[in-house]
Amino acid sequence: MNKVLIVVDMQNDFIDGSLGTKEACAIVDNVVKEIKKDYSYIYATRDTHHEDYMETHEGRHLPVMHCIQGSEGWQIRKEVMDALNEKDHEIIDKPTFGSEKLVEELKKRNEKCPIDEITILGLCTDICVVSNALLIKAAFPQMTINVKEDCCAGVTPESHEAALATMKMCQLEII
């Protein structure tokens, strides 16, 4: 079975950095365990901004410097990166919430060897996880797409739950 894992933005700034939460800290071990499972391929995304972040549309709406390319906060959490390095994976830098490049890479992989199932996890459930999940679902409407609830955390517990409910309504499997 050709199963693909998507690890969304498991970066220091979202875990215990400038936008970190205790909920994000709490999922790190679960994410590492999931990465170690039997997946055919893994894509990891990395939120990527630059010094002009505060002048961008996102920066004006979320005025907290984070994930500045090359900074410690931009790096994928060490434990997560160590687990990824044990597997066949690719990191995709993305300048915004959802990644069109991720969808393009999934389409290319699916053409070579049909993907049976995609599982998504990471941060933040209510921003980047839901954005990428819905882009992937639009590109692969007949595919089983799972979201690992215990491997995701939102900006708040309430917004995490709302995002999970939204994805469930859009026929993603919340597992």
Give the per-residue pLDDT at 15.
98
Domain boundaries, the chain: 3-174
Give the per-residue pLDDT at 36.
98
Q: Where are the beta strands (DSSP E) in the chain?
A: 3-8, 41-47, 89-94, 117-123, 144-153, 173-174
Give the per-residue pLDDT at 23.
98
What are the pLDDT tens digits along the chain (175 aa)?
999 999 999 999 999 999 999 999 999 999 999 999 999 999 999 999 999 999 999 999 999 999 999 999 999 999 999 999 999 999 999 999 999 999 999 999 999 999 999 999 999 999 999 999 999 999 999 999 999 999 999 999 999 999 999 999 999 999 9
Give the per-residue pLDDT at 12.
98
Give the per-residue pLDDT at 132.
98
Backbone angles phi, psi at 115, to 5 degrees: -80, 130
Give the per-residue pLDDT at 161.
98
Query: Do the beta carbons of residue 121 and residue 80 sit within 8 Å?
Result: no
Give the per-residue pLDDT at 67.
98
Prediction pTM value? 0.97
Residue 130 CB-half CA count within 13 A: 19
How many whole angstroms separate alpha carbon 145 and alpha carbon 29? Answer: 22
Architecture of domain 3-174: 3-Layer(aba) Sandwich (3.40)
List, in order, residues 6 or more apart from 111 with CB less than 8 Å away. none
Backbone angles phi, psi at 33, to 5 degrees: -60, -40
